[in-house]
Amino acid sequence: MGKVTTNNLGASNSRKLVLVNQPSILFGLGITVFLAMILRLFWLQVLQGNLYRKLSDENRIRLVSSAPIRGRLFDYKGKLLADSRPTYKLSIQPRLVSKERWPVLRDRLSTLLDISRKKLDLNFIRGVQQDPFRITLARDLSAEQVLRFKEQDRNLKGAQVDVELLRYYPYGSLAAHVIGYTQPITPKEYTILAKKGYEISDRIGRTGVEAAYESHLRGKWGGEMLEVDASGRVQRSLGIKAPVAGQDLYLTLDFDLQKAAENALSDKEAGAIVVLDPRTGAVRAMASRPTFDPNFFSKLVTTQKEYDKLFLSSRMPLFSRAINAYDPGSTWKPVTAIAGMESGKFPADIVLSTAPCIKYGSHCFREHNGKGFGDIGYEDALRYSSNTFFYQVGVGSGSRALYDAATKLGFDALTGIEIGYEESQGLVGHEDWAAKGRGWAEPGTTPWIPEDIASASIGQAVVQITPLQLARAYAVFANGGFLITPHLVDADRNWTGSNLRRKVDIQSSTLNILRRGLRKVVTSGTGAMITLNLPGLPPVAGKTGTAEDSTGGLDHSWFVCFAPYEASEIVVVAFAQNTPGGGSVHALPMARKILEVWNRKRNI
């Protein structure tokens, strides 16, 4: 009994203790919950306030973007080369069209504009998933469709015709490699470009001037801010910000000379023409063949088959020959002459005996006429384009002297033109380069051999240059010894300033010998046909070139010239790729067509 009584008393005391402490426990729990709420509110309102305020605004506000007009491109006298043309698209604003009303609107649009109901339905469903504020139902409407819509738009509430701007090149393929083209940005690019104000539907300059001057041309997006409720219905407009148009750009190109260059190339399988002002470096024409129409990239619908035909073509129409490197042949001989005279090993008054061929290493390097030209100096060596004269000068001067002369004229380096990201640096081989493996072998396994320097002396095998580099180099002979910077936009820069035009470190006597020799090429040498049927043409100097293709193809043909001889205003480089027969036969007539147009304009 005692034990039972004791246990009952203990249980009774425990219950009393719990009842006595219950208010304290509840109070403690209440305080804990209250403090937790205070801390949570502090976290939300103070520490994370800006974040949640931003999320709230994003849920409440929608932006309907308006694309900017891209800046136009002109030649240096104001001829329009690239513009933005309007194209019309049919859109609807889903907030104004209920699901019940859509079938009625769809049927009206289908009948009025002759667009299938199936296509409208498909685009509507896709559009709602991607953009609930504006859906594109059809693109590239005809003028007749737009007119029909305008006549009935009162009965088509929620639908509208929007203007979409696409890049347009009025002269098609003219200067295509210089101007370039635009394309929609990729999702990968968007992750980077979004920070610079681009939209996912934006287009970006992909090549040429369109890419080089993208920030200048593109403009800034505008749009309308709309306030929406929790259901996504638009309540009101909070304001409109007009898009900012891109800036126009005037190129240095001369439309007439560019057109003449394109025409001069029209009967060639492949080649290039470069025309520049040797005084400033302004590029007046730059043409490449085969070419392409940049309007292709503005098409609203393009099939994979069409893309493959352009990008996978064996003719490589997207590839600019004007800034790609090739064997220069005899147009390189003035570089060898500089090496000889500036090294002091073959002074300006040297006379050398030419021969049918001269042996270097295991090969006998021949004269192009098969017999030689007797005893001649630099001027006649250029006039006759003697191989054996320049073999002796090049081999005797050495590869380092040849490389030094080449780099003084800007070879083995980018020219500085704005589209340099597409430009080849070219190659001028020398002993040190060979010792390091020639760019493809292990160091020490490809030594410099006598055959290398002999070939390099006349621009073969281990020498690769671009037509633009050659034009820049001959501008040195044309302007009295200054290496200029080729450019496509003047942009109010002083292109004759010391940072963009520098005096080449060669003796005036060397320069004078070269100029006289290049003049003889035209008056009584391999380039004498340049003045044929061009009465009134001012004195011209130049050089022909025929080069073996070191990649195994047919010979290349070259011709480069400048005029007027005493105070030059123009340099022309004509290049016919894999067109055997000689520079005087194929490339010279191309250059003559340019000079004809230039001289006519000059006289006017």
Shared domain check, 269 and 220: no
pLDDT grade for 231, boundaries at 50, 70 and 90: low
- Count other Cβ atoms within 10 Å, centred on residue 362: 8
Q: Report how far residue 379's alpha carbon sits from residue 385's, in angstroms, rounded to the nearest whole number.
A: 10
Q: Report how far residue 477's alpha carbon sits from residue 337's, in angstroms, rounded to the nearest whole number.
A: 13
Helix H or strand E encompassing 73: strand 73-74
Q: CB–CB of 220/68 below 8 Å?
A: yes
Shared domain check, 42 and 67: no
pLDDT grade for 201, boundaries at 50, 70 and 90: confident
- Which residues are within 8 A (CB) of 311 and not within 5 positions of it... i.e. 6 or more apart? 318
Asked if residue 515 is part of any domain, the answer here is: yes
pLDDT tens, 260-284?
999 999 999 999 999 999 999 999 9
Asked if residue 327 is part of any domain, the answer here is: yes
pLDDT tens, 515-572?
999 999 999 999 999 998 898 999 999 999 999 999 999 999 999 999 999 999 999 9
pLDDT tens, 96-147?
787 788 899 989 999 999 999 999 988 888 877 666 667 888 888 988 999 9
Mean pLDDT of the residues in the chain: 89
What CATH number is attached to the domain comprising 104? 3.90.1310.10
Shared domain check, 335 and 479: yes
234-238, 278-282, 593-597: which has the minimum mean pLDDT?
234-238
Task: Write down the pLDDT at residue 601.
Answer: 94
Q: Which domain holds residue 429?
A: 255-300+321-603
Percent of the chain at pLDDT > 90 equals: 67
Which of the listed residues 210, 234, 250 is the one where a domain comes to its end?
Answer: 250
pLDDT tens, 47-79?
655 654 544 444 566 666 677 899 999 999 999
Task: Write down the pLDDT at residue 209.
Answer: 98
Shared domain check, 534 and 502: yes
498 φψ region: left (φ > 0), alpha (ψ -120 to 50), beta (else): alpha
Q: Report how far residue 204's alpha carbon sits from residue 182's, in angstroms, rounded to the nearest whole number.
A: 5
pLDDT tens, 568-584?
999 999 999 999 999 99
Shared domain check, 287 and 227: no
What CATH number is attached to the domain comprising 564? 3.40.710.10
Asked if residue 312 is part of any domain, the answer here is: no
Would you state the structure tokens that stand for residue 208, as one six-digit string? Answer: 């040429």
Strands of 489-532 (E only): list them.
502-503
Q: Map tokens 């193809």 to a residue.
A: 553
Shared domain check, 352 and 472: yes
Task: Write down the pLDDT at residue 55.
Answer: 44
Shared domain check, 185 and 120: yes
Which of the listed residues 190, 222, 250 is the one where a domain comes to its end?
Answer: 250
Q: How far apart are the first and last CA of the chain?
A: 138
Shared domain check, 170 and 102: yes
This prediction has a pTM of: 0.84
Asked if residue 309 is part of any domain, the answer here is: no
Q: Report how far residue 596's alpha carbon sits from residue 540's, in angstroms, rounded to the nearest whole number.
A: 12
Asked if residue 305 is part of any domain, the answer here is: no
Q: How many domains does the chain have?
A: 3
Task: Write down the pLDDT at residue 49.
Answer: 59
Q: Report how far residue 175's alpha carbon sits from residue 263's, in angstroms, rounded to the nearest whole number.
A: 12
Asked if residue 236 is part of any domain, the answer here is: yes
3-state class (DSSP) for residue 369: coil
Shared domain check, 519 and 449: yes
Q: CB–CB of 520/344 below 8 Å?
A: no
Shared domain check, 361 and 294: yes
pLDDT of residue 365 exceeding 60: yes
pLDDT grade for 4, boundaries at 50, 70 and 90: very low
Asked if residue 306 is part of any domain, the answer here is: no
Asked if residue 316 is part of any domain, the answer here is: no
The radius of gyration computed from the CA coordinates of the chain, to the nearest angstrom, equals 37
76-90, 151-165, 381-395, 559-573: which has the minimum mean pLDDT?
151-165
Shared domain check, 375 and 274: yes
Question: What single letter denotes the amino acid at residue 414?
Answer: L
Shared domain check, 136 and 263: no
Q: Report how far residue 163's alpha carbon sits from residue 154's, in angstroms, rounded to the nearest whole number.
A: 19
The dihedral sign for the CA sequence 329, 582, 417, 480: positive
Task: Write down the pLDDT at residue 234.
Answer: 60
Question: What single letter denotes the amino acid at residue 497?
Answer: G
Distance of CA 75 to the CA centre of its chain: 17
